[in-house]
Structure 1
Amino acid sequence: MSQTIKLTAADGATIDAYRADPTGTPKGGLVVLQEIFGVNPHIRRVADGFAAEGYRVIAPALFDRVKPGVELDYNQEGMGAGIALMGQVDQGKALLDVAAAVAAASDAGKVGIVGYCWGGSLAYAAACSVDGLAAAVGYYGGNIAKSLDRKPKVPVMLHFGERDAHIPMSDVAAIEAALPDVPVYTYDADHGFNCDARGSYDKPSAAQALERTLAFLARYVG
C-alpha cells in the first residue's frame, strides 16, 4: 500500500513524501533518498520494492522547499533542471527533511537510509549527523569523497560504478582509505547503474548491489 504524506521538519517547513507499506508487520523503517530527478516513478518503484521486502519506506520530496512536486525525466532537459534545483537546496535544511522522514519511519522499528546519486551523498551526510538511524547505504554519491572530514555514527555501505565518469576511482580509493571499516563495493558499470529508467542501467550490477544492501539492512535494521 502506498500514499503521499506530509512531513514537518524541525524548522516548521512542510514537504511531501511517498510512503510505501509492507504487507503485515514491518521489519523496520527505511528512508529512500532521491536522485536529482525528484521522487519520480523510478524512486516510487524503488520504495515499493523495499516495502515488498518488509520495510515501511518514506521517500521525502527533497526539492519541495525550492519547487514542490518535481518529477523529472531521464534526459538532458531533466538533468539540467535537476542540477539547477540541487544547487538551490540548502543541505542543512535538506537534512532537516531527512530527519523528519526518519522520525516518520521510526514507529516501524529501527530505521535505515538508502540514497542514490545526490541522495547517496545525503545518505552519507545523514549517517554523520542525523539521529535515529541504524544504518546507511549510499549508491554513487559524488560528494562523499569531499566529506571525509565527517565520520559516520552508524554502519555504512557504499556502492560505486567503475566506469562512472562523475566519480573517479581515485575518489573511491580515498573513501576506502579514510573509512577502512566501511564496505565499499565497485561494479563494472556506469553512474546510475541501479536505475532501470536510465541508459546506464546495468541489471547484474543492480541485482548484486541490492542483494548486498538487503543483507546489510537485515543485519542492522531488521
Structure 2
Amino acid sequence: MATVTITAADGGRFNAYLARPASGSGPGVLVIQEIFGVNAVMRQICDDLAAQGYVALCPDLFWRQEPGIDITDKSKAEMDKAFALFGSFNETAGVEDLIASLAALRDLPECSGRAGAMGYCLGGRLAFLMATRSDADCAVSYYGVGIDKLLGEASAITRPLMLHIAEQDQFVPPEAQAQIRARMASLPTVTVHAYPGLDHAFARVGGDHYDAAGATLANGRTAAFLKTHLG
C-alpha cells in the first residue's frame, strides 16, 4: 500500500493512505477517519476494501492541527488527545479537504471514476456532510455523531446514503436518534439501519464496544450497498 499527497483548496498539502485492489483498478471509496487519525484500524478498513476490489483512500483530516496522528483508544492519554483534536477540528475546512480528496481519488489512474464516501464516528458525521455537500456517488455513515444537528441540510441529499445507528450509542441519545430516523424516512435515497443493544463504535475491531455479530451485519450491508451503487 502507499501514501499519496493531496492538495487542499487553499493550497495546503496533506497525506492520505492508499490501498489498491489486486486487479489494479476499481471504483473508489473515500474512507473517513475516526478521532484517532489514520491509524491501524483505518488502514485495515482500506485494505479490506481493496480486497473487495475498491481503490480506498483515507486522508489525514487532522493535518491542519497536527499532521500524522496515529493513535488508539487504549489509554487515557490517547483518548484525551483524540477528544482535544476533535474539539478543535475545523469542520468546514475538513469537508473541503474531503471534497479535494474525493477529486484526487477519482483522478487516480487506478480509479474507474465512480467513488463513494464511508466514515466512522467523526467520519460518520462527515460522511453525512459529504452526502449533502459533495458529488460523492454514495455515502455510508457508521454511528455518526451530531447528525441530528445537521438535519437542516438533509434536503440536499440526492444520492444514496446508508446510516448505521447504534441504539445504545453513548454519544447519540435516543431523542437524537428519533429525530434522525424521522427526517431520513422522508428521503427516498436514504437507508437507516439500527442496531439494538449496541454502543458507539460497535464495528471498531479491538474496541471496547466491538460486537462481532453487529459488525458483520453492518459490514455485509455496506458491502452490498457499495456494490449496488459503485459497481
TM-score range relative to shorter protein: over 0.9
Q: Give how far 1:45 is off.
A: 0.4
Return 212-221 or 161-170, whichever deviates more: 161-170
Q: TM-score under structure 1 normalisation?
A: 0.95
Counterpart code for 1:218: K
Deviation string, structure 1 residues 74-121 (Cα, Å, up to 9, x no partner): 132222111111222211111121012111221412001100000000
Match of 1:117 among 121, 131, 151: 121
Q: Give how far 1:72 is off.
A: 1.2
Q: Give how far 1:25 is off.
A: 4.4
Q: 1:65 aligns to what SS in structure 2?
A: coil
Equivalent runs, 1:79-118 vs 2, <5 Å: 79-107=79-107, 108=111, 109-118=113-122
Match of 2:151 among 148, 151, 154: 148
In 1, Cα distance between equivalents of 2:20 and 2:26 = 11
Instruction: Please tell me whether residue 71 in structure 1 is matched to residue 70 in structure 2.
Output: yes
In 2, Cα distance between equivalents of 1:156 and 1:62 = 22
Q: Give how far 1:130 is off.
A: 1.6
In 1, Cα distance between equivalents of 2:68 and 2:228 = 34
Return 139-148 or 76-85, whichever deviates more: 76-85
Deviation string, structure 1 residues 118-153 (Cα, Å, up to 9, x no partner): 00000001110123x100000011111110000223
Deviation string, structure 1 residues 47-94 (Cα, Å, up to 9, x no partner): 101111110011000001110110112132222111111222211111
In 2, Cα distance between equivalents of 1:192 and 1:218 = 23
Q: CA RMSD in A?
A: 1.2
In 1, Cα distance between equivalents of 2:129 and 2:66 = 22
Equivalent runs, 1:168-183 vs 2, <5 Å: 168-180=173-185, 181=188, 182-183=190-191
In 2, Cα distance between equivalents of 1:27 and 1:20 = 11
**Matched pairs, number:** 220
Q: TM-score under structure 2 normalisation?
A: 0.92
The answer for the alignment partner of 1:32 in structure 2 is 31
Match of 1:203 among 212, 220, 227: 212
Counterpart code for 2:220: E
The answer for the alignment partner of 2:137 in structure 1 is 134
Q: 1:148 aligns to what SS in structure 2?
A: helix
In 2, Cα distance between equivalents of 1:15 and 1:190 = 32
Q: 5+ unaligned residues in a row in structure 2: which ranges?
A: none
In 1, Cα distance between equivalents of 2:208 and 2:198 = 11
Return 180-189 or 31-40, whichever deviates more: 180-189
**Structure 2 contact 120–144 (Cα < 8 Å) conserved:** yes
4+ long deviations beyond 6 Å: none
The answer for the alignment partner of 2:166 in structure 1 is 161
Q: 5+ unaligned residues in a row in structure 1: which ranges?
A: none
